[in-house]
Structure 1
Amino acid sequence: MSRFLLTRLWQSAVTLVLASMVVFAGVRALPGDPALAVAGEEATPETVAAVRAQLGLDQPLWVQYGRYASNLLQGDLGTSVRTGTPVSELITGTLPVTAWLSLYAILVAIVVGVGTGVVAAVRRGRWPELVANGFSLLALSVPSFWLGLLAILYLAVGLGWFPASGYVAPSEDPLRAVYHLTLPAVILGTGLAAVIMRQTRASMLQNLSSDYVRTARAKGASRSAVVLRFALRNSLVVVVTLVGLQLGGLISGAVVTERIFGLPGFGKLTLDSVFSRDYPVIEGVVLVVTLAYIVINLAVDVVYSVLDPRIRVGGGAR
C-alpha cells in the first residue's frame, strides 16, 4: 500500500506540473488583452503599456512561467488583476459552495441511481424496470439548464416549495442550507443518477447470473442477502468508478446550475474570470480542479480494495 501511494503521489506531482504548463500556455492563448481590460477601453496606449509592465505581461513567456511556478511552490496562486484580491481567498470563499452542492448532488444521484438500478434488475421485465428505464432516458435527454428553469418556474415560483435562489452556509444554519441546496442538487444530480442507474442495472444483472450467486441460493441464502450482500456489493465497484469520475466533473461543471440558481460558487468565479481575462484566477481555478481529480481518483483506487478483496491496490490478484 505504501509503495502504491508513493508512486501515485509522484505521478500526481508530475501531472500537476504538466497541468500548470498547459494552463499557463492555454490561458495566454485566449483572445483579448488583460492589460486593456484592467486599464479600461478609454485608456491611452501609454497607460496600457504601463499596466502590462506592472502585470509582467511584457516579459517572455518562459520568464512569466518561471515566476508563476516559483510562486506556486510557495503556496501563492497570485492576485486577481480585476479585484486585487489574492486568488487563494477567492477560491476558498467560493469553493465550499460548489463542494457542498456537488456532494449533495452526488448523494442524490447515488440514492436514486443505485435504488432504481437494483429495482430494475431484480424486477426485470416488469413495470418497475420500465419506469426506471423511462426515468433514465428522460434524465439523459433533457438538458440540465432547461430542467432547472422548469423547476424554478413550477416548484419555486408556482408552488413555493423551494427558494428560487440564494445560499446559506451549513455552518450558519444546516437545515436552511439543505433547504436552499435541495433543488439545485436534485437538478445537478439527475443526469448522473440516470447514468448510475443504467450501470448498476447492467452490473446487477451480470452478478445475479454468476456462479457464486447461484451457489449462495443453493445453500439457502435469503433473497435479500443474495441481492444486497453478494450482487450489490460487487456492483458497487462500477458505481464508485462513476462517482469518482463525476465528482471532479461536478465541481467544474456546476457552472450552469450555479448561474441559474444564483449560487456564489466556483462556477460564477470561473465565468467572471474568463470574461475579464483574469489570468491568475483562471489558472488557480483550473489547478484546483486538477488537484480535485487527482485526489478523488486516488481515493477511488483505495476504495476498490475495500469493496472487492480480490482487487489489490498495488496491482495484481491475491
Structure 2
Amino acid sequence: MRRYLLGRLWQSIVTLILATIVVFVGVRALPGDPALALAGEDRDPESLRAIREQYGLDDSLLVQFWQFVSHAARGDLGQSIRTGESVTTMIANALPVTIELSVLAILVASVLGVGAGVVAAVRRGRPAEWAANALALLGLSVPNFWLGLMAILYLSVALGLFPASGFVPFFTDPVGNLHHLILPALILGTGLAAVIMRQTRSSMLDALSADYIRTAEAKGLSPRAVIGRHALRNSLIVVVTIVGLQLGALISGAVVTERIFALPGFGKLTVDAVFQRDYPVIQAVVLVTAAAYILINLLVDLLYSVIDPRIRVRGDA
C-alpha cells in the first residue's frame, strides 16, 4: 500500500511541475502588453518603463519563472496588476464559492445519476429504463445557460421559490447560503447527472452479466444484496472516475452558471483576469485549477484502492 501511495504521489508532483511550466509559458504567450493596458491613456515611455520595472516585465523569462515559483511555494501568488490586491486573497475569496457550488452539484448529480442508472440497468427493457434514458438525453441536450434562465424565470420570478441571484456566505447564514446555491447546483448538476446515469447503466449491465453475480444469486442472496453489495460496488470504479474528473471540470468550468446567478466565484475571477490581461491573476487561477485536477485525480486513485483492493495489490507488485 505504501509503495502504491508513493508512486501516485510522485506522479502527481511531476505533473504539477510540468503544469507550472506550461501555465507560465502559456500566459506569457497571450497577445497584448499588460504595461500598455495599465498605462491607459498615459502611454509615455517613462510610464511604461516604470510599470515594467515595477512588475518585472522586462526581466528574462527564467528570472520571472524563478520569482513566480519561489513566491508561489510560500503561498504568495503576487499582486493583481489591475487592482494591486493580493492574488492569494482574491482566490481565497472566490474559490470557496465555486467549490461549494461544485460539491453540491456533484452530490445532486451522483444521487440522481447513480439512482437512475441502477434502475435503468435492473429494469432493462421496461418503461423505467425508457424514462431514465429519455431524461438523460434531455439533460445532455439542453444547454445549462438556457436551463438556468428558465429556472430563474419560473422558479425564482414567477413562483418565488429561490433567489434569482446573489450569494450569502455559509458562516454568515447557513440556511440562506443553501437557499441561494441549491438552484445553481441543480442546474449545474443536470448535465453531469445524465453522464453518470449512462455510465452507471453501462457498468451495471456488464456487472449483472458476470459470473460472480450468478454465483451470488445461486447462493440465495437477496436481489438487494446482489445489486448493492456486488454489482453496484464493482460498477463504482467507472462512476468514481467520471465524478472525479467532472469535479475538477466544475471548479474551472462553472463560469456560465456563476454569471447567470451572479455568484462571485472562481469563474468570474478567471474571466475578468483574462479580459484585463492581469498576468498574475491568470497564471494563479490556471495553476490552482491544474493543482485541483491533480489533487482530485490522486484522491480518485486512492479511492480506487478502497473500492477494489486488487488495484492496491497490483500497485504493490
TM-score (norm 1): 0.96
Partner of 1:126: 126
- Asked if structure 2 preserves the Cα contact closer than 8 Å seen for 1:113 and 1:200, the reply is yes
Higher mean C-alpha deviation, range 196-205 or range 23-32: 23-32
Unaligned runs of 5+ in 2: none
2:251 touches 2:266 (CA, 8 Å); kept in 1? yes
Q: 2: distance between equivalents of 1:305 and 1:264?
A: 37
Amino acid at match of 2:17: V
TM-score where L is the length of structure 2: 0.96
Deviates more, 1:308-317 or 1:280-289: 308-317
Matched residue type, 1:232: L
Q: Where does residue 222 of structure 2 map in the other structure?
A: 222
- Choose 148-157 or 109-118, whichever is displaced more: 148-157
Alignment of 1:1-318 (within 5 A): 1-312=1-312, 315=315
Contact 2:203-2:238 within 8 A present in 1 as well: yes
In structure 2, C-alpha distance between the alignment counterparts of 1:41 and 1:193, rounded to whole Å: 49
Q: What displacement does 1:314 show?
A: 5.5
Cα deviations by residue, 1:83-137 (Å, 9 ceiling, x for unpaired):
1111111111110000000000000000000010011111111111111101111
Q: CA contact under 8 A between 1:302 and 1:313: conserved in structure 2?
A: no
CA distance in 2, matches of 1:126, 1:91: 49
Q: Go from structure 1 to structure 2 and tell me whether the alpha carbon gap of 1:313 and 1:281 turns closer, same or farther (over 3 Å shift).
A: farther
Distance in structure 2 (CA, Å) of the matches to 1:8 and 1:40? 48
Distance in 1 of aligned mates of 2:308 and 2:243:
17
Contact 2:12 2:298 in 1 (8 A): no
Structure 1 residues 313 and 256: alpha-carbon distance in aligned structure 2, compared to 1, 3 A threshold? farther
CA positional deviation for 1:274? 0.6
Find the residue that maps to 1:32 and give its secondary structure. coil
Distance apart, 1:45 and its partner CA: 3.4
Distance between the aligned counterparts of 2:163 and 2:110, measured in 1?
24
Distance in structure 2 (CA, Å) of the matches to 1:311 and 1:96: 33
Q: CA deviation at 1:313?
A: 6.1
Amino acid at match of 1:128: A
| 1:316 Cα deviation from its structure 2 partner | 6.7
Amino acid in the other structure paired with 2:133: N
- Preserved CA contact (<8 Å) 2:3 2:316: no
Q: Which amino acid aligns with 1:2?
A: R
> Secondary structure of the equivalent of 2:315?
coil
Give the whole-Å Cα distance in 1 for the aligned partners of 2:248 and 2:50: 39
Q: Take 2:72 and 2:314, find their aligned partners in 1: how far apart are those partners?
A: 31
**Secondary structure in 2 aligned to 1:315?**
helix
Determine helix, strand or coil for the equivalent of 1:234. Answer: helix
Give the counterpart letter for 2:305 in structure 1.
Answer: S
Deviation at 1:43, TM superposition (A): 3.2
2:213, 2:226 within 8 Å by CA — same for their partners in 1? yes
| Distance change >3 Å, CA 29–CA 313, structure 1 → 2 | farther
- 1:45-94, CA deviations, whole angstroms, 9 ceiling, x for partnerless residues? 33123212211112222221122222223322111111111111111111
CA contact (8 A) 1:36 1:48 kept: yes
Paired AA for residue 307 in structure 2: L
Over the matched positions of the two proteins, sequence identity in percent amounts to 68
Partner SS state of residue 311, structure 1:
helix
CA distance in 2 between counterparts of 1:311 and 1:170 reads 38
Unaligned 5+ segments in structure 1 are none
Whole-Å separation in 2 of the counterparts to 1:178 and 1:68: 37
User: How many matched pairs?
Assistant: 317
